[in-house]
Structure 1
Amino acid sequence: MQLPIPHPDALAASQALKQRIAQEIHSHAGWIPFSRFMELALYAPRLGYYSGGAAKLGKDGDFTTAPEITPLFGATLANLATELISAPEDGLSPNILEFGAGTGQLAFDILTELQTIGSSIDAYYIVELSAELRARQEQKLSAFPQVRWLDSLPAVFSGVVVANEVLDAMPVELVLKGEHGWLQRGVGLHESVGDEIVFSTIDRPADAALVAQIPDADVLAVDYLTEVHPVAIGFMHSLAAMLKGGAGGAAFLFDYGFPAAEYYLEQRDQGTLMCHYRHHAHPDPFYLPGLQDITAHVDFTAMTEAAMAGGLDVLGYTSQAGFLLEAGISQLLLRTPPENVMRYLPQANAMQKLLSPAEMGELFKVLVVGINAALPERFLRQDRSHRLGI
């Protein structure tokens, strides 16, 4: 792969993480599940991708998210949150909780828009697992005293929850259809000359509970490789318990993914796992651990089933484009007069990236779940909940 060469300090950090992972493999008889490798690569203290000090988002990072493209994304969510919180028939309290706030840009845009429209909230909670990202958020959001940081989801919450590109960053299990049944892919150490640590894949018989997450697993072809999402499913159960304990809540989950019927297509026989390094996408999860993101598309059917099992209602499921259009992003753009070309065109082009089917508009989906809450009726025009197969 022709990828950018990292700084020597970054290479040293990656090497230290490889040694940490190798120790984990040695202590578990030469094998760890892929989910554990992914967890360490992303979240090992001080060394993992999200736990280290390197920039992750924007032009200097490895990928770009919707809030980094335009403040219109956050402004749209702020207006919709205000609409929901003020609805007399809903039980939502004037609170917002964001899980995994990245650079803090989305929180900044939401809070700025709330000030602009004269809408107030009691608190803006951020659940952030990365100490490095939390430090950046604290600096970015220093002008907003209502922001409070949490180390984990609270036991009870009432209000609006936002999770933008959170589910795709949760560790997944890899499973492979073998000649005699399904196998769970794990990670071991490849024998090599010298001190270089080389990881290799090792497959073992899969637990039936993992295979049960794949619809029509028996009819898929031998050598079919895919992901299942026990960590993300566990997160949805926790989210459901948190919202069910409150007076009312609505959670908006933005991510790239598919319903189960599309996720496990025969043609998608190599799964969806992808790595991102300096705006280059490639499939090798063993490349420079700690310096690259590792993600997988989201099975939105599995997420919905977990939410419903926890007592939540499905309030909506649609494309990012359909959601943002119904939430009023076009009207917010028109605050800038089109005649003011120098200001209007950059904002219009940025909005187009969020909406275009060729960019984020169709690939990204929005799942909305909640209790004692409902989306405004206009969102029914874009709803695709029937595709979830629930």
Structure 2
Amino acid sequence: MTQTSILTTGLHEALHATICKAIEQANGWIGFDDFMALALYTPGLGYYASDSRKFGLMPAGVQGGGSDFVTAPELSPRFGQALARQVSQALQATHTTEIWEFGAGSGALALQLLEALGPQVGRYTIVDVSGSLRERQQALLVAHPGKVHWASELPAQMRGVVVGNEVLDAMPVKLLNRLNGVWHERGVALHQDRLTYADRVTDLRPPLEVVGSHDYVTEIHLQAEGFVRTLADRLQAGAIFLLDYGFPEHEYYHPQRSMGTVMCHRGHLADGDALADVGSKDITAHVNFTGIALAGQEAGLEVLGYTSQARFLINCGLLGGMEDATLAERAMVQKLVNEHEMGELFKVIGFAARNATVPPADTWAPLGFAAGDRSHTL
């Protein structure tokens, strides 16, 4: 066993012990959202709080690899360049000069936005809970000293454009299980020192009634919706653009989606066992964009639009200049927009802060939603 594998095993054992202690202190049961938070974010031990490489094109065993999954900015710099056109328009329309990026990952998107927008950005603030990712971001963004800043929490007031790519899906979710017609909250317990699922009868319900009486597992997104409400409370002027995989409510809680959407990612492979190898893989859930939209509206934000990633990026000029692109570059762009890749599963939702000192959103017609807006489907 190598020194690295010994260290990794030790970290996983320490994380397992931390989760076991939390379960014991909670009288033998914690909600799945609490488990997911511990698995991903326990300082120094959780998946996002450890030093493992997470973002990249290649899995372990491939030269230059070692990553678990790839996000759009790693696929092509054209992703960030297209998004920059929308961010530029929003900065101008809201008379702001700061970008706030949540969960900046490898820093690739930040670099693409900074290079595309240049002096239009006076300050770029990254909010990220991972110390190891912050080090990677700092190394990549070294050419922008004084402009890039890091924060672990939000200030009381913010101004600017907020960007979040694959942030909502990593926020802990509550699991609900309809079993024999009775709704339960699914949590995590211990059986002979092994993590196992355990259900408790609950008053919690999905936001839509799920047709039928068959057994049904699903998620509710209280933390993601709370995150949007917090942004609404703090954002004094500006706009928000969130990109992630998910569905509107009527698709999310479709009767046939009976196994839920929780998924794990490691080495560019997916599996559905969140309780196995905790700390060594990502745990995610698809986003209910209707719930996100309603949370924003109820908190005072204006919904700018909602559409597929493909339509949003094309509206923002993704395909411009593709005649000069190499075959490899074209292949990566196809991954961003093809329906069977990221183009349809990934969606984009935009919000604007309601502030009397800046023009209302309908006076500047956001570029990314100019064609193919699906807000009516939420």
Q: TM over 0.5: same fold?
A: yes
**Structure 2 residue aligned with 1:62:** 68
- Cα deviation for residue 13 of structure 1 reads 1.3
Count residues with an aligned counterpart.
358
**Structure 2 residue aligned with 1:111:** 114
Asked if 1:96 corresponds to 2:94, the answer is no
Match of 2:224 among 213, 229, 232: 232
Deviations 1:52-75 (A, max 9, x none): 010011122111000010111111
- Cα deviation for residue 298 of structure 1 reads 0.2
Q: 1:180 to 1:270 in 2, by over 3 A?
A: closer
Deviations 1:138-160 (A, max 9, x none): 11111112111111123222221
Contact 1:256–1:364 (8 Å) recurs in 2: yes
After TM superposition, the runs of 4+ consecutive aligned structure 1 residues lying more than 4 A away are: none
**Structure 2 residue aligned with 1:355:** 337
Asked if 1:305 corresponds to 2:294, the answer is yes
Distance 2:114 2:285 in 1: 30
Question: What TM-score do the two structures reach when normalised by structure 1?
Answer: 0.88
Deviations 1:223-268 (A, max 9, x none): 211011111111011011122xx1x211110000000100000110
Distance 2:312 2:155 in 1: 27
| Helix, strand or coil at the partner of 1:137 | helix
Q: 1:31 to 1:327 in 2, by over 3 A?
A: same
Question: What TM-score do the two structures reach when normalised by structure 2?
Answer: 0.91
Match of 1:15 among 13, 21, 24: 13
Distance 2:94 2:117 in 1: 20
Is there any run of 5+ residues in structure 2 with no aligned partner, and where? 59-65, 354-359
Q: 1:34 to 1:266 in 2, by over 3 A?
A: same
| Helix, strand or coil at the partner of 1:7 | helix
Q: 1:62 to 1:314 in 2, by over 3 A?
A: same
**Structure 2 residue aligned with 1:135:** 135
Contact 1:275–1:292 (8 Å) recurs in 2: yes
Q: How does 1:136-285 map to 2 (within 5 A)?
A: 136-145=136-145, 146-179=147-180, 181-191=182-192, 197-206=193-202, 208=203, 210-211=204-205, 213-217=206-210, 219-243=211-235, 246=236, 248-285=237-274
Contact 1:92–1:158 (8 Å) recurs in 2: no
**Structure 2 residue aligned with 1:387:** 377
**Structure 2 residue aligned with 1:328:** 317
Match of 1:82 among 85, 88, 94: 88
RMSD value, Cα: 1.6
- Cα deviation for residue 378 of structure 1 reads 7.4
Is there any run of 5+ residues in structure 1 with no aligned partner, and where? 1-5, 192-196
Contact 1:177–1:220 (8 Å) recurs in 2: no
Distance 2:95 2:289 in 1: 24
Q: 1:97 to 1:234 in 2, by over 3 A?
A: same
The percentage of counterpart residues that share the same residue type is 44
